[in-house]
């Protein structure tokens, strides 16, 4: 049975609202530290933070939220974010190219970002699983692994098709077989859903309403 502290330490405490202001990011970091989260995840324009995070990791996004950026643009954005203090990059793939059957492009764009931000930077690949068929989810996961990514991630939280599902997490976890991490994000707003994702194979969670989830309530947002 997952404890509150164990669940908290899987969380990327997230603030990706377009209206987010610097003071909100400072408050996010303080709340993440209080709750025992693993990291905070903010937009690249918020970097550098100018606030000490202690043991918290700093994650940001790349090609967000549409993924319709060139591989070179995504690579530059990721590298700039790392130069400004990011420990982890959550990049969005071009799902249109993947759905058109061009998994080679997916692998190439992930590799471009990977080469721009080598280890120890952690690279997570957002595949928008709710917009994909099972075969496309498998193809995206295989491309991420082949390109050297560290994680596959369900969703941006902004796509109209929806966010994470237990089915998608289980399929992603089966495909990567423990060789990559699996991040569930998008629409996880209560304890039952969060722990169901973990039981299905999620090794990280993207939450904006972290406190409400940990307290057993229901949150709004990401």
The yes-or-no verdict on residue 217 having pLDDT over 80 is no
- Per-residue confidence (pLDDT) for residue 221, from 0 to 100: 60
Per residue in 26-64, pLDDT tens? 999 999 999 999 999 999 999 999 899 999 999 999 999
**Active site (annotated) includes residue 174:** no
* 54-100 pLDDT per residue, tens: 999 999 999 999 999 999 999 999 999 999 999 999 999 999 999 99
Q: Which of 90, 94, 124, 150 is catalytic?
A: 90
For the record, the structure tokens of 206 come out as 């993207």
**DSSP letter string over 73-139?**
HHHHHHHHHHHTT-SEEEEEP-HHHHHTT-HHHHHHHHHHHHHHS-TTSEEEEE--GGGS-HHHHHH
Decide if 124 is catalytic: no
Q: Tell me the pLDDT band of 1, cut-offs 50, 70 and 90.
A: confident
Q: 74, 124, 150, 153: which is the annotated catalytic residue?
A: 153
Q: Are 42 and 15 in contact (CB under 8 A)?
A: yes
pLDDT digits (tens, 9 = 90+) for 164-201: 999 999 999 999 999 999 999 999 999 999 999 999 99
Q: Please tell me the predicted confidence (pLDDT) of residue 218.
A: 67
Distances (CA, A) of 24 to 5, 19, 207: 24, 10, 15
pLDDT at position 216 = 87
Res 96: pLDDT: 98
> CATH assignment of 10-214?
3.20.20.70
Catalytic (active site) residue 190: no
Higher pLDDT: 1 or 207? It is 207
Q: Write down the catalytic residue from 74, 94, 150, 183.
A: 183
Torsion angle defined by CA atoms of residues 30, 31, 35 and 40, in that order, rounded to the nearest 10 degrees? -80
* pLDDT band (50, 70, 90) for residue 132: very high
Is the pLDDT reported for residue 222 higher than 80? Answer: no
């Amino acid at each position: 049975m997952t404890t509150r502290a164990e669940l908290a330490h899987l969380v990327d405490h997230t603030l990706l609202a377009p209206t987010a202001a610097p003071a909100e990011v400072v408050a996010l970091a303080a709340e993440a530290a209080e709750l025992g989260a693993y990291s905070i995840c903010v937009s690249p324009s918020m970097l550098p933070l100018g606030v000490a995070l202690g043991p918290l990791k700093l994650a940001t996004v790349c090609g967000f939220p549409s993924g319709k950026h060139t591989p070179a643009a995504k690579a530059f954005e990721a590298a700039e974010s790392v130069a400004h203090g990011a420990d982890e990059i959550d990049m969005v793939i071009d799902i249109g190219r993947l759905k058109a059957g061009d998994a080679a492009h997916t692998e190439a764009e992930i590799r471009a970002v990977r080469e721009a931000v080598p280890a120890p930077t952690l690279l997570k690949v957002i595949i928008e699983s709710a917009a994909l068929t099972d075969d496309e989810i498998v193809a995206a996961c295989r491309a991420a692994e082949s390109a050297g990514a560290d994680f596959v991630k369900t969703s941006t939280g902004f796509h109209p098709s929806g966010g994470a599902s237990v089915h998608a997490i289980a399929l992603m976890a089966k495909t990567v077989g423990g060789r990559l991490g699996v991040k569930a994000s998008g629409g996880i707003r209560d304890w039952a859903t969060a722990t169901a994702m973990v039981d299905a194979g999620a090794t990280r969670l993207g939450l904006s309403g972290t406190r409400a989830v940990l307290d057993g309530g229901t949150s709004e947002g990401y």
